Structures are given as C-alpha cells and as structure tokens.
Structure 1
C-alpha cells in the first residue's frame, strides 16, 4: 500500500518536475523577456485603470472616490456628435487606403528584392529603403509640402512636360488630402514593412524553385506560384494585425500635412480626441473615445481572424 502511494506521488510530481526543467532550460530567454513584460504591465495594463474616467465627470482636483459617476453619459454625447462621424469616416478612409496600398507595395517590393541576385546591390537597396522609416514625420511633412507647393518640383515637372498649364494646389485641395497622406505613408514605411516578408521568403524551400525551373517556369511564374503561396500565412497574420489597427492610424501626419483649407478631411479620431477631449479639458470624453477605439480594434481582429480560419488560411490564435 505504501509503495503504491509513493508511485502515485511520483506520478503527480512528474508534470511539475518537467515544467520546472523546461523553465530552467529556458531561463536565459525568460530573464531576457522580463524587461519587456514589465514594460507591458506598466505602460499597457496599469493604465487600463484610467478607463474609469470615461464613466465619471472627472476632475483632477478631486480624488478617485470623490469623482461623480455618470455612467454612459460621455458615450451618448460622443455618438450624437457630427464631428465624431466625420472623424470616423476620415480615419477609416485613410486607414483602408494605407492598408491596401501599404500591403501591396510592401509585398511587391519584397518580391523584387528577393529576385535580385547581386548581393551587394541587394543589401544597398534594402538599407536605403529602410531609412525613411527612421525619419521624423516633421521632416517628411516638410519635404512633401515643399515638393507639392505651387512652385515645387512636382508642379515644375508637370508644367515642363506640358501636362498642365498652371500649378496645381495639391495641399489646398481637400479631395487630394487622403491620397497625399497615403502616398507619404507608403513611401516612408514600404521598405521597413517589407522586412518580415523578405524574412519569410528566405524560408521557402529552394528545391521548389529548382523543380519549377525544370518544368520551364519563368521567374514571374515562380513568384506567383511558389513564393506568394509559401508566405501566405505570414501575409494573413500581418493583414489581420493591420486590420486591427485600422482605426489607430495616429494623427501626426494628418496634423502636420493638414491646414485650415483641408481641415475637414484631416480630422481623424485621434486628432478629434486631442482637440475636443484633452484640448478642452474634457478628460472623460477623451477617455470614452479611446475606449471606443480599443473595442472596435478588438472586434475587427476577432471578425477577420475567424474569417481567416474558416477559409483555411490560419489566423493569429
């Protein structure tokens, strides 16, 4: 009887011992991850306590227990504001344009770089393509504004080639604003976003290309029938994550490239929260906008992740 108890005890402790052995074996990686876990807790999870402000008439002069709780008052005000729907339309419009053109250009650029056989030229091109990512939006906005000015290089080239008779006011045309922001964003981020696609392409089995060459497939057909299908799971995962951030496009580029003439098209949700929330000391209202953004992002990720799973393309969880 005693022997049976000892055997049972050994069996019970075995999973725990195996887990502890795995932890000891991965202790270096676990220690390396500690700073990032701490950062995540401090800057991402602890601030969630501030969401309570959305359900209060928050006043910095009062303590937490002394705040007046108002329920969904600020959300009701938010959904009645015309400017909110205008900012939501602009955010989704620029977000969708950035998602479509950003994804297409990043994948296309990665495919072209992957086909380059000269190693030095390939590395030089990659390095140059990464550089705009590290340039501040202040500088990028200044470059774009200067190039698209009535006396800028774009208008000069168009007039020199007789494509136009007089300068075009790019920055003063509201209908062009979304396109200008998207083009600037694509130029700035294409090289950087292509890194993951390039990394995925290096994992494609070379024997597939060799077999395709034997069958007489051109390099274009190899890209279309081998490279793209092989990195499809990576494309789907990144696409889902980018869709989740569709409403989180920031406000820097809109604020820096915008002006009074195009203000109606430049107003995005983050800028709306800044100007009509925090800027007017309506902290509770600004927090309500932030909660709305977070909820929409989660819903988008769940919906498109489930769609990806149903179509057999995998997902992020």
Structure 2
C-alpha cells in the first residue's frame, strides 16, 4: 500500500455514511461537522515545519538528473492549490519541482511578506522556488499581450530563456480561461515563451477560478497529502486572514472528483472512488508547437505514479 493512500480510519467527527432515512436532526448534525471546520478561527503566527515527506531517489550511479517540473504560479498560493500532481511526482518518482513565482501580487506593500510566506509554503511541499525578476513580473495581463508592450516582450524572453535552460519534462500553467486576468495572462505568457523556446514538453493546464471544459487527468491525493497541501496553503497568512479559503480546499478537491469522474470516463459512468482529486488537461508540445492532448486517465494514490504512463512517454 502506498504511504499516500487514504487512511482506512474515518476522520473523527465526520460520518462516512448517513442513511437516506435519517432525520433532519441527523442531517443537521452531519452538516455541523462541516460547518465547524469552515468556521474555525484563522491561525496566525504559526511557523511551518519542514516537510516530513521524503522524495523517491534517483538510482545511484545513474548519472542522470531527475526530471524537472516547473509550476508557473500567477500568485503566491497557486503552488498549493494545483500542487497535487507535482507533489506526487516529487514524492513517488523523485522528480524535482520548482515553483516559478510569476508575480508577488499587485500590492507592493505586501510583496516582501508574500515572498516570505511563499518560501514557507514551498518548504512544506519540498518545492524549489524561483523569481525571474526582483519583485516578480508586472502587468501579466491579456491587454499587455495584445498590445505587445516592451515589458511584455521582455518577460516572454525571460521565460523562454528559463525553458531553454531547464528543459522541463512537465510545466503547470493556468488554462486559457481561468477566470481572472493574471491567470489568463500567465497562460498567454508561457504559451508564447514555449513557442520562442522551441522545446518539447508536456503542458498541464490547471484550473481554479474557472473550470476547463475538457480536462484529461484526475490525480487523487489521500488524507496525508491533502492535509499537506492545506498546511502549505495556510502558510499564506495574509491571504487567509481576509479569506480562509484553505479550509475550503478539500471541498473543492472533492468536487473535482464529482465533476472529473464523469467528464473523463463519460456521462453516466461511475467516478473513481477518490475522496480528493485535482484536475488537469495534459497536452504535448513538440519543438514549441502544440501536438495534441494526452489520453484521459485518472491516478489513484494506492500505487505510485508511473511518469511514463502519465506523460505518454
């Protein structure tokens, strides 16, 4: 059994089933458990510990570097929200993961603090961390892409240089319609940089602010790894102080299973028996040009990820 598989012991206070014939009071008691989690006070001043997870090792004497994942995060916190796949690749296959902090948010007075919070979150997840400009990129918006501003073109060039230097086997980028301008801007930025870099890789389209119509891949996380993602997200103290969205992350991941199960398997089919999952759309790029989608797959956590099967290698 994989160490990341769901625990066979139900979480205390949350019944695994409620009879359809249960009374209104029983349903309200069940709902009260959820409500209690969502209404708990925000924790502040908590020093995150280093991750206890140990990545799988590359065989000694192989003489090869581990494959590299680049997570292009529009804001500090996105690395946690969409981090299920890179986390599992790091832990189960020994891949290296680097979070590229595309921006540090629009508020200049918060950027130093957000960088510190981001470092703590990446420490929890075991991700490397990198900025491509001293204060993060600016104006990563669709309007800047349309206007071909000098700043936009410079930032595209910097990303292209990174891609050429690192030659990642996988990149994570928001999908083209991910709801808010910076997420859409990051999609345009990295897509243009890929074309300039002319590298071959797999492009994992992520989602958060808006769903994508045709995901291809559902990645399960068990209780342990889901808790790790929430714990990392809780490092972003300033953001969760105004909106404790870390408490809702498991509900979002549960809904991904509801939606993704039938989208991947087909209408009317039974979804996989996952509690929590994250959806991606995987596309292959060859020499900087999109070359089609990878087949629909879902990946349970009772066995280690097979990167070759996952990425069509």
Structure 2 length normalisation: TM-score?
0.26
More strand by share: 2
Query: Greater helix share, 1 or 2?
Result: 1
Highest RCO, 1 vs 2 (Cα 8 Å, sep ≥ 6): 1
User: Rg: which structure is higher?
Assistant: 1
